[in-house]
Each structure stands twice: as C-alpha cells, then as structure tokens.
Structure 1
Amino acid sequence: MDNEKLKRELFRPSKAAKQERRGKFISFSALALIVVAVSAIILFVTMKGLAAFTQNHVNVIDFFTGRDWNPSVKGANGQPEAGALPMITGSFLVTIFSALLATPFAIGTAIFMIEISPKRGAKILQPVTELLVGIPSVVYGFIGLMVVVPTVRTLFGGSGFGILSGTLVLFVMILPTVTSMTADALRSVPRYYREASLALGATQWQTIWRVILRAATPGILTAIVFGMARSFGEALAVQMVIGNAALMPTSLVSPSSTLTSVLTTGMGNTVMGSLQNNVLWSLALVLLLMSLLFNLIIRLIGKKGAMK
C-alpha cells in the first residue's frame, strides 16, 4: 500500500509542470484566436470585395484602369463608371513621396541619436519622437488643414488641397516611426564593428557610412517599408487635406483622393449589397492586398538580413 502511494506521489505532475501546461494552453488559445480573427477578416473582405465582379459583373480591367469614378452612372459601354485608377494612383503617390521625404530625415536623426550624440539624443530627440508617435491622426489632419493647406495655397497656388499637402502631413506622421525603427537598427549593429573600423584608421563618418549603415541596411529598409505601409493605410489625416476628388492627379497641387479617403467618405452613404457599396468593398480589398504585400516585403527583408 505504501509502495502504491509512493508511486502515485512520484508520478504526480509537479506544480511547475501544471503551470507550464496552463501557460502553453493560454498561449495556444491566444494564438488560435488571432489566426481565426485575421483569417475571418481576410475572408470577409475578400468575399465582399469580389461581389462587385461576381454579382454586379463589373469588368476587372475597367475597374483597375478606368479613370471615372461614379458607380451610380453607367458609361457608354454599359458598365458602371467604377474606375479605381485615380484612387490607386493617389495612394501610391502620397506613399512614395512621403517615404522619400521622410527617409533622409529619419536616417540623419537616428545617426545623430545613436552615433554622434547619444546623450543629447536620448534626452531631447527620443522624447520628441515618442511624443509624435502618440499624437492622434485627426490632430495631424487638423494641423494640416489649418497650416499646410494655406501654406501650399500661398506658395504654389490652387486650392491648397492635393498630393503635396497629403505628402507633407504623412511625412510628419511616419517620420517618428521610421526614425525609431532606424535607431533600433543602428543600435543592433555590434560594437566591435565600430571598434574594428576605427582601429583600421577610419574616421567616424567613414565608419558610419561604410560600416554601420551597410550592416543596418536590412533594418533600415524594414523601417522604410513599415512607414510606407502606415502611409498607404492612413485615412483621416489624408482625407482632410487631399481634396477628396476622385480624379486623376494632374499636378501635386490639384485635388485628388486615395483609397482610404474614398472609403471613409463613401461607405456610410451607401446601402449594403448595392453596387455602390460593393465597389467600395473592392477598394477595401485592394487596400488589404497592398497591406499584405507590404508585410510580405518586410518579412523578406528580415529574412535576408538574418541570412547575412
């Protein structure tokens, strides 16, 4: 009898084992919930986005190449005027221009914070960067509406609304994100890289330019693509300064629109299941696919950096 009791005591799971099993179950449940939620969102948006092509028989080529956006009106070919090219073009223009504008400022700020003056950067620039990250999008949009748009109107003419105003607002919005991620990439470069370069007689700038930046290139590219992804998906701030005109951009100061601006202004004014509503879901599907593409690019850059 004593042997049986001793055997049960020996094979009874310990308290630590029970806690580990419970922790694994909670972690797996959380992971499964995330997978189910993401899969459900992708499936739902895909089904709604394809409804315009399967139910309303909108021509796919006309949708991506058409320049007229008025889904309630049929064109000469009998197809609804649901050309998404102006919005797609506007989204890519503000995304690319804001990234091109933010990248040199972000890299320069990160180099100053990490390599040139770490103490001053930690005291001044780091809190400012964190503060800019926490500002809501509507505040950026309101500042852009009150400051950027009148300035663009005064300097370049026109109404002030357009790609240029949207680019300037997004530049300020994505700058802290790209700066923080670039600083992390520079910080991750091993210290002996710097010491070896300086020991060989290189100056501080040569070390930064030829050693540190090259070693941190995958991380910097990830920061840039991450900033572009945020820029591409930004809605409210861009909507307030771009003009919301579903027209092909003819200049940087002409009113234009993006995928997100058309979605935010039009989704609440359409009936669920109608053609006007379905083509908006098609725009949302394009936006989702682009977001997934950005995430895929980030993962590929990360894998390439890990292989090095």
Structure 2
Amino acid sequence: MVKKEQDLQKVVEKAISAQKVPHVKFKGIDPRDIDVARLTKPSKETRQERWGKGLTFLAIILIVILIIAIIGFVGSHGLATFFNDKVNIFKFLFSSDWNPSAGKDHVGAAAMIVTSFAVTLLAALIAAPFSVAVALFMTEYVSHKRANLLQSVIELLVGIPSVVYGFLGLTVVVPMIRTIFGGTGFGILTATLVLFVMVLPTITSLTVDAFKAVPKELRKSSAALGATKWQTIYHVVLRAARSRIMTAIIFGMARAFGEALAVQMAIGNAVLMPFNLVSPAATLTSQLTSQMGNTVMGTLPNNALWSLALLLLVMSLFFNFLVHLIGKKG
C-alpha cells in the first residue's frame, strides 16, 4: 500500500511540474500539499454503492431462503401422506372418496381438484372478455382523465377484502341462484360469479398495461393505411398485446385458484364430485380453510390436508411457469 501511495505521489508531482498553463486548481499548490492517502481511500459514493449492493444481495438471499423454507415445509408435510401413511398417490389424485379419518383408503382428492379447475376456468372465461372490453374502453375510447377515474374504481375493487365478496355472494348470489335454478343455491355457478367479480380487476389492470405498451406508431401507421379505429384495434392492438393479455388471464386464474374464504362461503363446501353447476361442492382451498383447525398435527387427516396444500403450491408454480413461457414466446 505504501508503494502505491509513493507511485501516486510521483504521478501527482510530475503532473504539477508539467503544467504549462496556469490553472486555478493547480495555481499555488505544492506537491507536498496533495493528500495521497485520501485519494486512495474509497469515496462516500463508493461506500454507499457497496452498502446498496450488500443490502440488495442480502434481501435476495433472504427471499430465496424464505421460498425454500416454504416449499420445504409444505413439501415435507404434504409428502408424509404418501411416505409415512402409505397412501397411494394415484388413488389420492383420481379417487373422490374423501374421509381421511376412516383410513388411508379414503383419501381421494379428485372431487376437489375437478371443482377447483372448473371454478377457475369458468371464472377466467367469463372475466376475460369483460376485462378486455373494459381495458379497450379505457385506453382507446375515453379521455385520460376519465380513464384515471375508471382505474381508481378498479383499484377500489382490488382492495375489497375476500370476506366481503364472500358475504355478498352468500346474501345476494346464493338466493338468486336458488330462485332461478332451485336447490340450495350453493355450487360451482355461485362460486364462479363471485370469483368473476374478484378476478375482473386483476385481469383488467394488467390488460390496460398491455394495451398501453403497444407503440402509438403502430396505431398511426394503421390509420395512415386507411384502417378504421375498430380495424386498428382488432388487427393491430389486440395482436400486438396478445401475449400480455394471456399473461393477465393466467394471473387472474392463479388468483381464482388460490382464493379460499369467498369460495368457501359460496360453494357449499361438500366434498362431492360435481355433476352440475348448482349442487354443493368443495375446492382445495375451501376444504383446507374449513378443516385444518379440526385436525391434529402429524395424523393422517392433517397430513392429507397438507397434501392438498402441496398440490396448490405445485399449481401456483405451474401458473408462474406458464407466465414465463408465454412471455418468452411473446
């Protein structure tokens, strides 16, 4: 370190002695006045950058550890059903006989799996056209001020708690379905209508961002070629934002698949294979929230519920994989 300071001192002395034109910074400066040690120390900005990088790296490590811990915890408890309790994994996935208290031969989650996918797909199919239409109206047909007003309303819908949606479904949608179709009013159709309202803001917000990301030059070029506004929207805007729209729909499906409380209040929570849309059924999340507090840790009923949680985790990872795949293709 001393040799480096001596070398730097020589460079400074040589630069000052070689200065031909008087400079305000060098005028009256003696080579011995140069603090070489200070020049070799890291500056305040350098130290701040190092601290920033360190904190960022620490945050990334903590997030990775947290994700690994969650996957490990859920995985260890969920796989205990198959390794410790010797439940057949194929029977778990394809049997609809769900009564873990009766033994390992009665641990079948097929009814809940089918219901979860049915509710998710139906909610996404209903919400997607509405979301695209609302997003087009906000980005293509109204002024910026009115679009911001609509955006505020959509964000308000996002902030409403799930229990409020579930209560509205219980007090409004269930009696309506009971009046129109008969029966109890609980079922896949009721849960689908509740989830439709819940996922609509998510898909709409992401679709609005997708349409805003389409360059204005494409719209102007289409108009310059003589296309009408709707032709521009259909042939240019929708095609350019196609991958982002699909990503928005998948995010909405992930939200619907993982919703628990609102679905539990609207679907009836009966573990039966759904043969129609207006009979009580149960999803993976509704069964988890209603039964987890009634089991003892380490027993077969508890491990079976953890297996449902593991299945939900796998599906969440699958939805994220689809998002990355669509983004890469797009």
What does the per-residue CA deviation read over 1:200-246, in whole Å, with 9 as the maximum and x for residues that have no partner?
Answer: 00000000000000000111000000000000000000000000000
Query: What amino acid is the match of 1:8?
Result: A
| 2:262 paired residue number | 237
Q: Which moved more, 1:54-63 or 1:295-304?
A: 295-304
Structure 1 residue 116: deviation in Å? 1.1
Question: Which residue does the alignment assign to 1:215?
Answer: 240
How far off is 1:72 after superposition? 1.1
The answer to whether structure 1 residue 225 and structure 2 residue 275 are counterparts is no
Letter in 1 for 2:195: L
Give the superposition deviation at 1:6: 3.1
Question: Could you say what secondary structure the match of 1:72 adopts?
Answer: helix
Conserved 8 A contact 1:72-1:80: no
Deviation at 1:124, TM superposition (A): 3.5
Counterpart for residue 132 of structure 1? 157
Query: Structure 2 CA distance, aligned partners of 1:208 and 1:239?
Result: 39
**Structure 1: how far apart are the matches of 2:307 and 2:315?**
12
SS at match of 1:248: coil
1:90-109 superposed matches below 5 A: 90-109=115-134
Q: Which amino acid aligns with 1:127?
A: S
Rounded Cα–Cα distance in structure 2 between residues aligned with 1:166 and 1:172:
10
Native 8 Å contact 1:86 1:247 kept in 2: yes
SS of 2:106's equivalent?
strand
Q: 2:299 & 2:323 partners in 1: Cα distance?
A: 36
**Aligned to 2:37, which of 2, 8, 23?**
8
Structure 1 window deviating more from structure 2 (79-88 vs 186-195): it is 79-88
2: CA distance between counterparts of 1:9 and 1:73?
Answer: 77
Q: Which residue of 1 aligns with 2:217?
A: 192
Q: Is the contact made by 1:112 and 1:118 (CA closer than 8 Å) also made in structure 2? A: no
TM-score normalised according to structure 1 size: 0.95
Asked if residue 70 in structure 1 is aligned to residue 91 in structure 2, the reply is no
Identity of aligned residues (%): 59
Aligned to 1:202: 227
Q: Which residue of 2 aligns with 1:33?
A: 62
| 1:22-75 Cα shifts (integer Å, max 9, x gaps) | 00001111111001000110011111100000000001111001111101114x
1:110 Cα offset (Å): 0.2
Counterparts in 2 of 1:121 and 1:111: CA distance versus 1, 3 Å: farther
1:123 shift after superposition: 4.4
State the SS of the aligned residue for 1:145: helix
Given residue 38 of structure 1, which amino acid in structure 2 is its aligned partner?
I
Question: Secondary structure of the equivalent of 2:279?
Answer: coil
**Unmatched 5+ residue regions in structure 2?**
10-33
Contact 1:112–1:121 (CA under 8 A) maintained in structure 2: no
Structure 1, unmatched stretches of 5+, are none
* Distance (Å, rounded) in 1 between the aligned partners of 2:91 and 2:108: 6
The Cα shift of 1:121 comes to 3.8
Distance 1:63 1:230 in 2: 24
Distance 1:281 1:72, change over 3 A: same
TM-superposed CA distance for 1:259, in Å, is 0.2
Determine the structure 2 residue equivalent to 1:182. Answer: 207
- For the pair shown, the structure with the greater C-alpha radius of gyration is 2
Q: Partner of 1:69: helix, strand, or coil?
A: coil
TM-score (norm 2): 0.89
**Which residue in 1 is equivalent to 2:31?**
none
What residue in structure 1 maps to residue 316 of structure 2? Answer: 291
C-alpha deviations, 1:233-281, integer Å up to 9, x for none?
Answer: 0000000000000000011000000000000011100000000000000
Partner-residue secondary structure (3-state), 1:298: helix
Q: C-alpha distance in 2, partners of 1:63/1:121?
A: 51
Distance 1:118 1:155 in 2: 40
Structure 1 residue 251 and structure 2 residue 267: aligned?
no
> Given the alignment, which residue of 68, 75, 88 partners 1:59?
88
Mean Cα displacement is larger for which, 119-128 or 155-164?
119-128
Runs of 4 or more above 2 Å deviation: 1-7, 118-121
CA distance in 1, matches of 2:328, 2:52: 29
